[in-house]
A and B are shown apart, each in its own frame.
Chain A
Amino acid sequence: MKAPALHQAGGYLGVVCGALAMYGSFAITANSVFGRVVAPLGSRS
């Protein structure tokens, strides 16, 4: 794999990672405002 391809793959991985973090924030915010689960975060282990 050439470096530019790795760079691009890392970029897409970063988009997924950042989007997951944004969903986590959205879920915590929305669940807190509505006082119930509107965006699931999964159970605590």
Chain B
Amino acid sequence: MPDTPAPAANPAALGLVGFGLTTVLLSLTNAGVLPAGGEAVVMPMALAYGGLIQIIAGLLEFRLGNTFGMTAFLSYGAFWWWFALLGILGKLGLIDLSGAGPTVGVALILWGVLLPHLLAAVRGLHDVVGHPPASWPGGRR
């Protein structure tokens, strides 16, 4: 009897909720809905959930041969680790950001460059995580 591989679960369910939940919490502090001090709660969640879970999801996407999922989840997982380490190490005084000038902004712009890089490849995916609405530049329906 030939070995049939067990059906694989879809790692995107895991990665998307890791990204989404952490993003919503941070964004609620940025929007002023939650107090700015709430960022202290976001930092550990960025490591424990947003970062760790997306890195696991990215590795599982690799196993499925999904180049897009691997690149997106591993990148945004590592993004959360960078973001949390920047906040935590900066607060503890273990790294000195006083002379950084616009470097943090430039780093965020570089992360922004990753977005069109991924969007360019996203046409083959479902609508929700796939192509933008027709009203957006490059959108189609």
A contacts, CB < 8 Å to B: 7-8, 10-15, 17-29, 32, 41-45
Contact = CB atoms under 8 A, between A and B. Distances in A.
Nearest to B34: A11
Given A11-B30, A12-B31, A21-B17, A44 B126 contact: yes
Interface stretch (B21-29, B59-67, B81-89): B21-29
Interface residues of B, number: 32
Contact of A11 (B14, B27, B129): B27
- Residues of B contacting A: mostly: helix
Interface of B: 9-10, 12-17, 19-33, 123-131
- Residues of A contacting B: mostly: helix
Contacts, number: 99
Given A11-B29, A24-B128, A42-B128, A18 B10 contact: no
B24 A18 contact: yes
22 contacts: A8-B32, A11-B31, A11-B33, A14-B27, A14-B31, A15-B24, A15-B31, A15-B33, A18-B21, A20-B20, A21-B23, A22-B17, A22-B20, A22-B24, A24-B12, A24-B126, A25-B17, A28-B13, A28-B16, A41-B128, A43-B127, A45-B123
